[in-house]
């Protein structure tokens, strides 16, 4: 859509996650970064599952939230303070049991104070999305760090 | 995503709109129908505008709602009774003044009782979307007509 | 919730609507203003209806949008430039035919740059809400007018 | 709103959680059940926190999701199979550090196939909500168990 290019690489985003979110960074793997886009994987483990082996709602929320957050940071640089202000999710299919989830994410707006993006979540290897999410982040006024 | 093909054409959907929604069908033009996709135009007129010549929020809502509804009908056939149960919209940019709006719509789920889709709304000729919408429709249990 | 008091009355809000939104102000009547709350009526007319006499989705959207907007202005004063950035609505019941709709609205957050509120929409005289809406508005940085 | 009374008590819901969601039931405490209403507490522990001691987004999501789910079950009886189909959340304030979160939940619709509810989330002891959530659940066609 816009032709701005990312200012952070997969490696930059991975290092940022490890530094700022040590509790959860092991859950995720940044797989690809592009202009206004990222792909992020949830490495599904026991703690993400519900009875029956399916990925829990909060784990899907966490993946979507992290993915659009990283898509924003990829474009504006490492600002740990951007905060989620809104999320809307549709849960459409039961995720495959014991299978990683992949978030394909795009930014739709990257403004001075707000970024808006959406994500489709897929069980690895399956064509139909299990969930859809859209999110808004407030970007702190002073972008310098 | 899914390989099901539409069962209604642009002409079928246009005739359905004229018959079932005589009050508003002149506002819209179905431009393209594909597998789980439609493109619909809001033919912007005075009644859709706010001061300054920009398209109103309710007009954007109406376009998104009609577009995902038609995407659903294109796949399942003419069921006037499908009803919108949920919508989430992000308004991201001011629409261009006095300019038609185009909704690019895809269905993400077409179940027995629910369909879920989303839409990006563009001012004609501009690359960045003015709004994003996701919607759910309840499909009446008996699909026979 | 918060103890801030409104700075605009029912009459102030009504005059503001007539001045800033001449195309639509006749559709609505501000009925009550309180701390972080307003009640607004949609005076249902032919143009708000769908086949069968029920209020259309775009008309419900318009009512919810206006109501939370006015709840915001009631607290911060007349700023025509606050813009809707997000809306989520659930349509739960069919509105009664040919009956006014009432929006009971509360603000949940009134920040420096964002306000967040929600609304329940009722067909006049009925106890169960026909729709639920939540909305976010961006408030322009300079609040002085 | 509606005068139907709950068919499960605080004790019933607590036992149901322990049986059906052994992984997470310790995180929550059902505090009060009424007609179309429940209050549920997130007993905040280390695993719910982000850097700075604030409750994470996925933990807030989990609380809202569980609370509206339990509000639904309280009215229709123990159906482990009701599934979340949609959620919309606004994150409005930073939760207080190291403080339990309380969800005040109400059902707005309890239909044959869908329930719709919303929740306000509060840091214990504070008057302003930290988040707002609305949710839809699909209820399996056969309610008999």
The pLDDT value given to residue C81: 75
Is pLDDT above 50 for A4?
A: yes
Is pLDDT above 50 for D126?
A: yes
Q: Are D14 and D33 in contact (CB under 8 A)?
A: no
pLDDT tens readout for residues B51-69 = 778 899 999 999 999 999 9
Residues of B in contact with C65 (CB under 8 A): 57-58
**What is the residue-averaged pLDDT of chain D?**
91
The pLDDT value given to residue C142: 60
Residue B95 to residue B117: CA distance in whole angstroms: 22
Chain C segment 41-60 residues within 8 A of A by beta carbon are none
Is pLDDT above 60 for D63?
A: yes
- Measured between CA atoms, the residue of chain D closest to residue A130 is D85
Is pLDDT above 70 for D75?
A: yes
Residue A1 to residue D100: CA distance in whole angstroms: 42
D97 shares contact with chain C (CB less than 8 Å): no
Size of interface B-C (CB pairs under 8 A): 66
How much is the average pLDDT of C119-132?
97
Is pLDDT above 80 for A142?
A: no
pLDDT band at B89 (very low <50, low <70, confident <90, very high): very high
**Interface contact flag, B114 D88, Cβ < 8 Å:** no
C79 DSSP assignment: -
Is pLDDT above 60 for C72?
A: yes
| ipTM (interface pTM) | 0.91
Q: Residue A90, class by beta-carbon neighbours within 10 Å (0-12 exposed, 13-18 middle, 19+ buried)?
A: buried
Residue, of D139 and D101, whose pLDDT is higher: D101
Q: Are B30 and B11 in contact (CB under 8 A)?
A: no
Q: How many alpha carbons lie under 13 Å from residue B38 in its C-beta half-sphere?
A: 29
Is pLDDT above 70 for B33?
A: yes
Is pLDDT above 90 for C39?
A: yes
pLDDT tens readout for residues D93-112 = 999 988 999 999 999 999 98
Is pLDDT above 80 for C13?
A: yes
Residue D14: how many CB atoms within 10 A of its CB?
16
Q: Are B36 and B107 in contact (CB under 8 A)?
A: yes
pLDDT band at B80 (very low <50, low <70, confident <90, very high): low
Residues of A in contact with B90 (CB under 8 A): 108-109, 116, 134, 136
pLDDT band at C92 (very low <50, low <70, confident <90, very high): very high
Under CATH, which architecture does the C10-138 domain have? Roll (3.10)
Binding partners of B (≥3 Cβ pairs within 8 A)? A, C, D
Residue-range domain boundaries for chain B: 10-138
Is pLDDT above 80 for A104?
A: yes
How much is the average pLDDT of A67-80?
91
The pLDDT value given to residue D142: 60
Mutation test of the interface with chain B: which of C25, C46, C58, C80, choosing the one with the most B Cβ atoms within 10 A? Answer: C58
Mutation test of the interface with chain B: which of C67, C87, C114, choosing the one with the most B Cβ atoms within 10 A? Answer: C87
**Interface contact flag, C138 A114, Cβ < 8 Å:** yes
**Interface contact flag, B132 A118, Cβ < 8 Å:** yes
Residue, of A40 and D98, whose pLDDT is higher: A40
Residue, of A145 and D27, whose pLDDT is higher: D27
The pLDDT value given to residue C1: 46
Residue A75 to residue B24: CA distance in whole angstroms: 41
Is pLDDT above 60 for C59?
A: yes
- Measured between CA atoms, the residue of chain D closest to residue A132 is D86
The pLDDT value given to residue C144: 40
How much is the average pLDDT of D42-46?
93
How much is the average pLDDT of A75-91?
90
Residue partners of B134: CB distance under 8 A and separation at least 6: A88, A90, A132, A134, B87, B88, B89, B116, B117, B118, B119
**What is the residue-averaged pLDDT of chain B?**
91
Residue C70 to residue C66: CA distance in whole angstroms: 6
The nearest CA of chain B is from the CA of A23 a distance in Å of 31
Q: Which of A91-105, A122-136, B128-142 has the lowest mean pLDDT?
A: B128-142
Residues of B in contact with D85 (CB under 8 A): 114, 136
- Measured between CA atoms, the residue of chain B closest to residue C64 is B58
Residue A102 to residue B17: CA distance in whole angstroms: 38
Of chain C, the percentage scoring pLDDT greater than 90 comes to 75
The pLDDT value given to residue D5: 93
pTM: 0.94
**Interface contact flag, D62 A57, Cβ < 8 Å:** yes
How much is the average pLDDT of C43-70?
91
pLDDT band at B1 (very low <50, low <70, confident <90, very high): very low
- Both tokens of B130, joined, read 């003015």
């Amino acid at each position: 859509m816009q032709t701005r290019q990312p200012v952070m690489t997969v490696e930059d985003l991975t290092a940022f996650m490890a530094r700022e979110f040590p509790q959860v960074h092991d859950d995720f793997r940044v797989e690809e970064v592009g202009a206004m886009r990222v792909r992020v994987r949830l490495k599904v483990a026991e703690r993400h599952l519900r009875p029956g082996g399916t990925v829990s709602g909060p784990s899907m929320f966490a993946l979507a939230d992290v993915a659009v957050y990283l898509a924003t940071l990829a474009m504006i640089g490492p600002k740990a303070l951007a905060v989620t202000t809104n999320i809307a999710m549709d849960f459409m299919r039961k995720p495959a049991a014991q299978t990683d989830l992949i978030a394909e994410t795009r930014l739709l707006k990257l403004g001075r104070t707000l970024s808006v993006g959406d994500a489709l979540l897929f069980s690895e290897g399956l064509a139909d999305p299990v969930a859809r999410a859209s999110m808004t982040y407030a970007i702190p006024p002073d972008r310098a760090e």
